[in-house]
Amino acid sequence: MDESTKRLPALYDSLASRRGDPANYAPLTPISFLSRTADVHPELESLVYGARRDTWRTTEARVQAMGQALNALGIKAHDTVSVLLYNTPEMFETHFSVPLTGAVLNTINVRLEADTIAYIMDFAETRALIVDRELLPRAIEGWQARKDRGIDVPIILIDDPAAATAPEIPDGLPLYRYEDLVREHALEPSSYRAAIVGDELDPLSINFTSGTTGRPKGVVYHHRGAYLMSLGTIAGWAVPRHPRYLYLVPMFHCNGWCHVWMMTAMAATVHCMRGIDPARVFDIVRREGITHFAGAPIVLNMLAGSKDAPARLADDRVVHCMTAGAPPPAAVLGRMESMGCEIIHTYGLTETYGHILECEPQPAWGELEVDALAEQKARQGVRFPTVEGVRVVDRESGDPVPADGETLGEIEIRGNLVMSGYLKNPEATEESLGSGWFASGDLAVRHPDGYIQIRDRAKDIIISGGENISSVEIENALYKHPAVGEAAVVAMPHETWGETPCAFVELLAGKEATEAELIAHCADRLARFKKPGKVIFGPLPKTATGKIQKYELRKRFS
């Protein structure tokens, strides 16, 4: 857009001085949802965790106190605060307290190994760490990496009575207790402040990818995108006032699909769970009157296949569920629907704040049988209300593919719900965004009714239980074994996890290794969910130039 198109016509010259005036403009930020909800519904329950039941008045007070504490520890605008927490109330609070100071929130996957956590903490230039005591041993390496650079990172520790273990705390750590800081820095309501947002496009959070092509990339979200994702989800999911929400999506993943901010806007009562246990889920849904929850297809499969699964989740009402993270099996959707669960299937990426497509139901679908309805809902669907554009294009020509349900193309996205870019990686940012659209790398078809459905992945990503796993990362671990000559990893079907890594290995001449030995070897070097589920020995198929033909290996599971 050139400068001439940015100027208002002369008719509006008298308004030019008012553009961006505080009276008619404020930077969009999801942090503003908290003060509004605390003002309007101060005594309504906000967070429930075991016997703990906070109100929105309490949640705002704790957030304001922690924001003050972070400032007292030296945290300032645009500093990175890394967080390694389960889905506890403190994790929810950090989504407001950290950006309240103008700092940037970096939520780290609790399933990662110490080496990757250290890489993320250092790459993001962490200035403070908030960590669950049970996870502290895996964070020490990251703290040390920052110390080696001359950066003293204060550690804010959370002692959760529900934790399985309470590891010993090494001497010499600059340690602070979360609850002590909240008490010490409590403020009078008259001293509460709004978030420091100079520009709505300022960074709000960094979410690291799963490292599907090596080291994970840092995806930068801005305040505007998170605000519009929250409002778009309210509209797309038709979320009413005061839902009772069970938070099963890890809040470290795309900031919990931005539901932490969305549910705050709707003055929800949010039930937190440290880990997913089907029996507890069923109990909470019934006892607490849960109306909404969300989770990857693996979570739905876990619930539907549980020995504790009831005939219906709730006898007196429909329970609303959002699922995303991998193409869900239609059979799983059908089982959950039969249990009285109304499912909306969505699609998105870390780079798009979470979901940007939804399989929005059509009125005519109400006449379909359960199995046929599940097939319809297994598609990724149409764009969210706050997404400007989604298309499926031919990867060579860039032209949209025909809506015939057969022609493959790549999903591309445009609008406010696309990341600012990759942290300290201009080459990858240009590659992804340079065309004016975000290239997803996912291959899909568009059906005659306009609904999009993923058919394949452009990269060798394995999605196991909603987690993205890099085949290259596993191969690199295998190559470190002295008996491995060549290795290739592909996805194989798995009844529980959807798919899981399968390693094909060709041993060096004269060397020996067992399947169990190689799996254990990988488990020692990777997060345990990334280890191969199976190892198959034998010669690997190759092209004339010596490249391993992974598509031939995948055929074995067709």
Could you tell me whether strands 498-507 and 534-537 are parallel, antiparallel, or unpaired per DSSP bridges? parallel
Nearest-angstrom CA–CA distance, 369 and 471: 39
* Structural domain ending residue among the three candidates 457, 490, 510: 457
503 and 419 within one domain: no
Instruction: Determine, yes or no, domain membership for 373.
Output: yes
Question: CATH no. for residue 98?
Answer: 3.40.50.12780
DSSP string over 24-67: T-----TTHHHHHHHHH-TTSEEEEETTEEEEHHHHHHHHHHHH
In this predicted structure, what is the pLDDT of residue 212? Answer: 45
Instruction: Determine, yes or no, domain membership for 31.
Output: no
Per-residue pLDDT of the chain (558 residues), as tens digits, is 455 556 778 888 888 888 888 899 999 999 999 999 999 999 999 999 999 999 999 999 999 999 999 999 999 999 999 999 999 999 999 999 999 999 999 999 998 999 999 999 999 999 999 999 999 999 999 999 999 999 999 999 999 999 999 999 999 899 999 999 999 999 999 999 988 788 999 999 999 987 544 689 999 999 999 999 999 999 999 999 999 999 999 999 999 999 999 999 999 999 999 999 999 999 999 999 999 999 988 788 789 888 899 999 999 899 999 998 766 666 678 889 899 999 999 999 999 999 999 999 999 998 888 778 877 887 899 999 999 999 999 988 999 999 999 888 899 999 999 999 999 999 999 999 999 999 998 888 899 999 998 876 665 678 788 777 877 778 878 888 989 888 889 899 888 888 899 999 989 888 899 999 999 999 998 888 899 999 999 998 874 434 577 878 988 886
What are the φ/ψ torsions at residue 549 (nearest 5 degrees)? -90, 90
- Could you tell me if 68 and 93 are in contact, meaning their C-beta atoms sit under 8 angstroms apart? no
Instruction: Determine, yes or no, domain membership for 35.
Output: no
Which helix (H) or strand (E) segment holds residue 499: the answer is: strand 498-507
Instruction: Determine, yes or no, domain membership for 2.
Output: no
Q: At what angle do helices 32-40 and 56-72 cross, to 10 degrees?
A: 140
In this predicted structure, what is the pLDDT of residue 198? Answer: 87
418 and 472 within one domain: no
Helices of type H across 339-410: 370-377
Q: Give the residue among 164, 129, 176 at the shortest CA–CA distance from 274.
A: 164
427 and 356 within one domain: yes
* Structural domain ending residue among the three candidates 409, 437, 457: 457
Nearest-angstrom CA–CA distance, 185 and 188: 10
**How far is CA 55 from each of CA 89, 215, 273, rounded to the nearest angstrom?**
12, 40, 17
Query: Which bin fits 325, alpha (ψ -120 to 50), beta or left (φ > 0)?
Result: left
Instruction: Determine, yes or no, domain membership for 236.
Output: no
Nearest-angstrom CA–CA distance, 104 and 82: 8
Nearest-angstrom CA–CA distance, 492 and 503: 9
387 and 481 within one domain: no
* Structure-token match 């106190």, residue found: 65
In this predicted structure, what is the pLDDT of residue 374? Answer: 76
Instruction: Determine, yes or no, domain membership for 269.
Output: no
78 and 141 within one domain: yes
| DSSP classification of residue 124 | T
Instruction: Determine, yes or no, domain membership for 230.
Output: no
347 and 490 within one domain: no
Structure token pair of residue 185: 């820095």
In this predicted structure, what is the pLDDT of residue 470? Answer: 72
Structure token pair of residue 204: 């709000």
Q: Give the residue among 91, 84, 129 at the shortest CA–CA distance from 111.
A: 84
User: How many domains is the chain partitioned into structurally?
Assistant: 3
Instruction: Determine, yes or no, domain membership for 306.
Output: yes
84 and 143 within one domain: yes
216 and 129 within one domain: yes
Question: CATH no. for residue 474?
Answer: 3.30.300.30
217 and 69 within one domain: yes
In this predicted structure, what is the pLDDT of residue 185? Answer: 98
Taking every pair of Cα atoms in the chain, the longest distance, rounded to a whole number of angstroms, is 85
- Domain extent at residue 447: 276-457
Which residues are CB-neighbours of 246 under 8 A, at least 6 positions away? Answer: 271, 273, 281, 284, 285, 288, 290, 292, 293
466 and 433 within one domain: no
* Structure-token match 């089982």, residue found: 335
In this predicted structure, what is the pLDDT of residue 479? Answer: 81
The neighbouring-strand residues paired with 439 are 412
159 and 66 within one domain: yes
178 and 79 within one domain: yes
Could you tell me whether strands 175-177 and 155-158 are parallel, antiparallel, or unpaired per DSSP bridges? parallel
Nearest-angstrom CA–CA distance, 203 and 432: 19
Q: Is 325 buried (19+), middle (13-18) or exposed (0-12) by CB count in 10 A?
A: buried
Nearest-angstrom CA–CA distance, 219 and 212: 14
In this predicted structure, what is the pLDDT of residue 267? Answer: 98
* Structural domain ending residue among the three candidates 414, 440, 457: 457
In this predicted structure, what is the pLDDT of residue 301? Answer: 78
